[in-house]
Chains A and B, each alone.
Chain A
Amino acid sequence: DAKTTQPPSMDCAEGRAANLPCNHSTISGNEYVYWYRQIHSQGPQYIIHGLKNNETNEMASLIITEDRKSSTLILPHATLRDTAVYYCIVREPWGAQKLVFGQGTRLTINP
């Protein structure tokens, strides 16, 4: 079973920051927070992951609360191409550890 909870859908205006929340209150000490997104009829795309420190890359920023029970993915300047289903997943970072998907958040970027 997925160990994360996300809102089923969100809307954001183009050019604004999109902030996607995720609750993972049962996360264990060895588990990282991963974010993926899936654009319609494509395979999921890796976005970012982190353990406890905030992370930033060319796609997004990941803010993890100090108690690690929740996190927020931030797309700083959303574009129409960011419309997708975003999945927040907790997982240990070892190769054989499977990724269990929850229902994700369907983010719609509006012009």
Chain B
Amino acid sequence: GAVVSQHPSRVICKSGTSVKIECRSLDFQATTMFWYRQFPKQSLMLMATSNEGSKATYEQGVEKDKFLINHASLTLSTLTVTSAHPEDSSFYICSATEIAGAGELFFGEGSRLTVL
């Protein structure tokens, strides 16, 4: 099946710094990627829809200035958590679907962010 890769898988940063997480579709092109975050023992919460070459669409309650999303190519989307705080500590997951695929979304391995 299609492969989606995230990097880094784990990151620890100090409060106030910014962290960038990359999401790559390794063997297919994806015009749309999705970013989720997941707190312990909770389900995945959709943060935003990332569209190649245009601005991301954010879900209600998600601060677009805090969670910067860039989708500069058909194989790469990035999520930057700006001025991170301990409450931003979470598991961030991206997903993508093939342009000409059957509709299934493929997920990355996730990136665990810990803000000290």
| B 54-87 binary contact with A (CB < 8 Å = 1; else 0) | 0000000000000000000000000000000000
Are B107 and A45 interface neighbours, CB within 8 A?
A: yes
How many residues of B sit at the interface, in one of the four size bands?
20 to 34
With A43-B108, A43-B109, A95-B98 in contact, do A100 and B103 touch (Cβ < 8 Å)?
no
Give the residue among A94, A98, A101 with the most B Cβ atoms within 10 A: A98
| Complex contact B43–A46 (CB within 8 A) | no
Looking at the assembled complex, report how far the CB atom of A97 sits from the nearest CB atom of chain B, in whole angstroms.
8
Return chain A residues, CB-CB under 8 Å to B30. Answer: 95
From the candidates B4, B49, B93, B102, name the one contacting A98 in the complex (CB within 8 A): B49
In contact, B91 and A41 (Cβ under 8 angstroms): yes
Contact among B34, B91, B102, B110 for A93, CB-based, below 8 A: B102
Q: Are B101 and A95 in contact (CB under 8 A)?
A: yes
Size of A's binding interface in residues, CB under 8 A: 27
Judge whether B91 and A44 touch: CB under 8 Å: no
A28 at the interface (CB under 8 A from B): no
Chain B residues in 8 Å Cβ range of A85: 43
Contact A49 B49 (CB under 8 A): no
Contacts of A42 in B (CB 8 A): 109-110
Residue in A43, A44, A102 whose Cβ sees the most chain B Cβ within 10 Å: A43
Q: Chain B residues with Cβ under 8 A from A91's Cβ? A: 103
Return chain B residues, CB-CB under 8 Å to A110.
Answer: none
Residues of A within 8 A of B31 (CB): 95-96
Contacts of A32 in B (CB 8 A): 103
What separation, in Å, do the CA atoms of A45 and B95 have in the docked complex? 11
A105 to chain B, nearest CB (A): 11
Tell me the residues in window 76-98 of chain A with beta carbons closer than 8 Å to chain B beta carbons: 85, 87, 91-98
* In the bound complex, CA of A92 to CA of B44 (Å): 19
Given contacts A41-B91, A44-B44, contact A99 B105 (CB under 8 A): yes
Check if B93 sits within 8 Å of A96, measured CB to CB: no
Please list the 5 inter-chain residue pairs (A to B) with the smallest Cβ-Cβ separation, ordered nearest first: A93-B103, A43-B107, A101-B44, A95-B97, A44-B107
